[in-house]
Amino acid sequence: MLRTKISRPIVSAANHLCFLDAYGFLRRKLSKSPVVILLYHRVGPREDIWPSLSIKPQDFERQIRYLCKAYQVLPLDKLVRYVQRKTLPQKAVVITFDDGYKDNYTYAYPILKKYNVPATIFLTTGHIGHGEPFWWDKVAYLIQNTTLETLELDELGVYPLHSIGDKLEAISRVKEGLKIYSEEKKNLLIEKLVIVSGVDIPVNLGKKLILSWDEVREMKDGGIAFGAHSVTHAILTKLLPEEAKYEIVQSKKDIEDKLGQVITAFSYPNGDFNTELIKFVQESGFTCAVTCIPRMVSPRTSLHELGRIQPDGNFNAFKLFLSRLYWDLKAIYPKLNERRAS
């Protein structure tokens, strides 16, 4: 998630004094307003949510309600058509989700329907309907449920597990540490974690966490759009070219076969991409691709390098990120934020 280093009291005061709204209004008068693409992953009650990129339903609804009052919420494909014409509407946003979690259907979808808001969900097709949890959810489950007081993982370090806070810290650090390895090495380390932790992963864990194709089809009929997010969520820059191309092409085919419609949007797993991957995505028939780079969309933005902002539940920070003030400050202070992706 995009986390500002501006203190919360300052952001809160700026919002309650209506400074953010006034600043945004003046900036739109002075220059054309870029579009924000929002990136969500999970929406659910805290007791149902893994330590992952997530917000509570009430916080999500507050954000959606605000967007409906203050912005034009566009479908992603409509934004693409605007950029192709080298123009943008005033004060617009796009809503996207990555991965394909079941809580997108259980909690987010009813809120989107309530406010008649369009959104695009990017599916990791090898996990939809198969019962196989994402690797980072395996890590979280193993560390949360182990009885060990200290976790020793050789290459990944040693972690105390005396409290919930210790476990959350260990989960975060192990997940980030695993991302630097190849898929083969990462999977071997996770298998080792299974043995070391002494925890058995439930066979139905993935089905509890991840969307089914029936749920995807129901949301499609309810106006939700879908895009491809690879087959296995491998970091494509770490794969051989033919492996990366398979992940891109096959995920598109999977969704098209299940939904009976052409899929034109792709999301790079973990937000990682390079020139070769952009070429693969273009050649595979995707008219756009989204990243995890925290930046707004202008008429000159490359359609295969669209940036997105990952909000958390802090409503004041949410409004700050939507205003031009944050980006103007970021131009002056480049280290204003930290990027996290999945």
Range of lowest pLDDT (8-12, 61-65, 87-91, 94-98): 8-12
- Sorted by sequence, the CB contacts under 8 Å of residue 331 that are 6+ apart come out as none
Expressed in percent and rounded to 5, the helix, strand and coil fractions of the chain are 50, 15, 35
Answer whether residue 183 shows pLDDT above 50: yes
CATH superfamily, domain at 3-131+213-338: Glycoside hydrolase/deacetylase (3.20.20.370)
Q: How confident is the model at residue 13 (pLDDT cuts 50, 70, 90)?
A: very low
Q: How many helices (H) and strands (E) does the chain have?
A: 15, 13
Question: How high is the pLDDT of residue 284?
Answer: 97
Per domain, the residue ranges of the chain are 3-131+213-338, 135-197
Q: Using DSSP, state whether 93 is helix, strand or coil.
A: strand
Answer whether residue 35 shows pLDDT above 80: yes
Answer whether residue 30 shows pLDDT above 60: no
E-only strand ranges, the chain: 3-4, 36-40, 42-43, 54-55, 72-74, 92-99, 120-123, 150-152, 158-160, 225-228, 265-267, 288-290, 337-338
pLDDT per residue as tens digits for the range 143-170: 999 999 999 988 889 999 999 889 999 9
